[in-house]
Amino acid sequence: MIQVNNVTKKYGSFTALHEVNFHIRKGEFIAILGPSGCGKTTLLKLLAGFMEPSSGDIHIDGRLTASKNRIIPPEKRNIGMVFQSFALWPHMTVYEHVVFPLRHHRHTRDEWKQDMVARAQHVLKMVGLEQLFDRYPSKLSGGQKQRVALARAIAPLPDVLLMDEPLSALDIELRMEMRNEIQRIHRETHASVVYVTHDQGEALAMADQIIVMNNGKIEQIGSPEEVYTKPETAFVASFVGKCNMVKGKWHQNRFVPNEFPWEQWPDIGIADSLKQQGLCPVRPEQWHMTGHKGEGLKGTILSVQYQGKEIHYMVEVENENWTVHQSVFQPKYRIGDTVSLSLKAEKNIHAATL
């Protein structure tokens, strides 16, 4: 169990992390999700022990590992790290990359130290690189390089695997494939994983828990389904999956959008914090769209994008642009058409479409 208590990190006068609190259970897969510059890498470096917090502390399995005055360095912890840039050593072969931590990691099991070849072969097999054991990094593709970085990190079987945007340098197909690999490796090693990403799809697909960050602060912590179906802040609603933030007033459990006082929408599980701000988040797939004679908010189609299974519309409603996703089996509209938007009333519709 890793416990992060009130951790603040300042670079000079700039505060990169503000009083961050969370914990990670053994074997859990945590994603730290947020836009560029929000403090994700800073948080990962603190977890690894590369630097000390300005205030607050970090405990691992009940032991104080980092505070302002005391820090246990990375080499004394049983962690593995994978970086966006791969950070491979150009003069070492694939095999040597995997053997290096086995030889130097103080937590490597004795049996593996005694038979490093067997352990290296096992790990290279896990990541599908057993055939390429004698290649140098310059002769590897991006995906193969990232597999080497992954193999190097997991070889000594770390308790915690820290990954900083490990897939962002890869193309989309490889990213999808590597997602599965990383999930499988997580299952096989039972390591806790802290996975930093700015890609909400990755976080939703892979993590047990997502920590959503913005401007050095935690906005929300929850399971993928919780942060998607019940965002607690406007930031989470729009960052984790696209969301239209409709402004209006909440009267108990009924929402009345501004400009459309005759409309009343039911509460489909909106967080209190958003209600207090007079907001109703609506996912693109949650709109019910009908023609100009239909009921609801009147708008004009601004753009139409055919996406195979769905059609994505941009609809202008009272000077705001809403994104609407409709199945291709629903009536189709063209640019300039007047349409009516209402809310599909089913409870938890998000969950059904996740």
Instruction: Report the interface residues with ligand ADP, using CB under 6 A.
Output: 11, 14, 16, 34, 36-42
β-strand pairing of 254-257 with 209-214: unpaired
Phi, psi of 109 (to 5 degrees): -60, 145
Q: Which is nearer to ligand ADP, 10 or 135 (CB)?
A: 10
Q: Closest CB to ligand ADP among 15 and 353? A: 15
Q: Express the helix, strand and coil content of the chain in percent, nearest 5 each.
A: 30, 35, 35
By a kind-dependent CB cut-off of 5 to 8 A, residue 296 interacts, out of ligand ADP, Mg ion, none, with none
Nearer to ligand ADP, 54 or 93 (CB): 54
Residue 240's alpha-carbon distances to 159, 162, 278, 310, in angstroms, are 29, 22, 20, 20
Give the shortest CB-58-to-ligand ADP separation in angstroms.
16
CA distance linking residue 226 with residue 232, whole number of Å? 9
Handedness of CA 16, 18, 19, 24 (dihedral sign): negative
CB-based closest residue to Mg ion: 41
| Contact partner, 16, from Mg ion, ligand ADP, none, Cβ < 5-8 Å per class | ligand ADP
What CA–CA distance (Å, rounded) separates 200 from 227? 11
| Min separation Cβ 197 and Mg ion, Å | 10
Residues that bind Mg ion (CB under 5 A): 41
Whichever of 16 and 280 has its CB closer to ligand ADP, that residue is 16
Q: How far is the CB of 201 from ligand ADP (least distance, A)?
A: 17
Give the nearer residue to ligand ADP in terms of CB position, either 46 or 311: 46
Query: What is the closest distance, in whole angstroms, from the C-beta atom of residue 82 to ligand ADP in the complex?
Result: 14
Smallest distance, ligand ADP to C-beta of residue 42, A: 3
181 contacts 150 by C-beta, under 8 angstroms = yes
Q: Which is nearer to ligand ADP, 82 or 311 (CB)?
A: 82
Q: Which one of ligand ADP, Mg ion, none is in contact with 9 (Cβ closer than 5 to 8 A by kind)?
A: none
Q: Residue 145 binds which one of ligand ADP, Mg ion, none, with CB within 5 to 8 A depending on kind?
A: none
What minimum distance in Å lies between the beta carbon of 198 and Mg ion? 8
Cα dihedral 277, 211, 282, 319 in deg (nearest 10): 60
Asked whether 18 and 217 are in contact (CB, 8 A), the reply is yes
Nearer to ligand ADP, 50 or 136 (CB): 50
DSSP letters for 41-107: HHHHHHHHTSS--SEEEEEETTEEEE-SS-B--GGGS-EEEE-TT----TTS-HHHHHHHHHHH-TT
State the binding partner of 38 from ligand ADP, Mg ion, none, CB within 5 to 8 A by kind.
Answer: ligand ADP
- Cβ burial 149-158 (10 Å sphere, 16+ → b, else e): bbbbbbbbbb
> Min. distance of Cβ 194 from ligand ADP in angstroms?
13
338-343 sheet: strands from edge to edge: 287-290, 338-343, 297-306, 310-317, 320-327
166 binds, among Mg ion, ligand ADP, none (CB under 5 to 8 A by kind): none
| Residue 153 interaction partner, one of ligand ADP, Mg ion, none, beta carbon < 5-8 Å per kind | none
